[in-house]
Amino acid sequence: MKTLVINAGSSSIKFQVFEMPEEKVLVSANFERIGLDNSFYSLVKSGEKIKKEAVLDNHLTAINIFLEELISNQIVSSLEEIKTVGHRVVHGSSKYKESIIIDNQVMEDIKSFSDLAPLHNPANLLGIQAVKTALPNAINVAVFDTAFHQTMPKESFIYPVPYEWYEQYGVRKYGFHGVSHHYVSLRIAELENKQPKIIICHLGNGASISAVKEGKCLNTSMGFTPISGIAMGTRCGDIDPSIIPYIMQKTNKSINEIMDDLNKKSGMLGMSQISSDAREIETAINEGNEKAILAQKIYIQKIVSFISYYHTLLGGAEVIAFTAGIGEKDKEVRKEIMEMLKPLGVVIDYSANDVKGVETVITTEESKIKCYIIPTNEELMIGKETYRLSI
């Protein structure tokens, strides 16, 4: 069964087509700058990457071009071969605890949750509507980024604010990167042949950490929005909220301007004043740049503090998994984290850690907590969920 996976952003769409249940990737593509000047897309088939310029007026145009590429590249002989389509949807609120086949009610709900994810849910909905137009006979499945974290108990997701904020306005911790955390938790269970107590470190430009027990999330670092938790590439993570009105008074900036600063100009970029890119930060550290060194120390400490907390919450973690761009590829960040975790019994295998993007164990046999690198695969997770609901 050919399954199309779509990850629609506000001005971009990522595609993959899988042959399921074999999980074979037939083609992938990335359409960028939709609705903007200088739009283009890239296509990868059999290891070969092709880049093309194209006028991408809207999401439906991008989807139609991709479907034409499927025919011209002989991925399918007819669009009727695409039986199922999986859509990443960022926010499912507290209603959707798992993936679901999309009907009119689901679409209405996705729209109603847009105030919780104003940059993402409208784009996700555009992708769904465009596919329904282009592939009217396909089964569409929504895979929510918040769903995996909905197993959190109330003591993990309720904030210490007036309770009516939760009851009337839905103010609570939701968590994000759930598709990635779900994939990694399942992969660890396969490798360990059981469901161990896991701490998952999804470390990319956006980053989140979760505590997983018996395959269920007990807590996660991101909260009501993706800005909270650890410091990230450009996001501040947890800070004292009183900073916001204080800086507003000092700078005469609006709340929207301050939130833009906290989302796009803070984190590693704000602290280092160099870049949000971990590779550029590492170069600056090697050159002795004091702000880059300080930013890295703060970043590591924030991660270790969440790991230590979740270790206690789990009653002793058995596995720590590093995933996403930094988690998979930055050996120095992993090394510094694991060295700080020595009091928990973590013993790093320096030779095993000297890799990028390879699924492997990076601790010694003496280590009380086994540490893994697990390359995440959100598109495959969406494909798996879509196939599961379609058969």
Residues designated catalytic = 145
Separation of alpha carbons 211 and 221, rounded Å: 9
DSSP string, 121-163: HHHHHHHHHHHHHH-TTSEEEEEETTGGGGG--HHHH--SS-H
| 207-213 and 216-220 strand pairing | antiparallel
Distance of CA 120 to the CA centre of its chain: 13
Nearest-angstrom CA–CA distance, 265 and 276 = 9
273: left (phi over 0), alpha (psi -120 to 50) or beta: left
In degrees and rounded to multiples of 5, residue 5 shows phi and psi of -115, 130
60 Cβ neighbours under 8 A, 6+ residues apart: 126, 129, 130, 133, 134
Residue type, 279: R
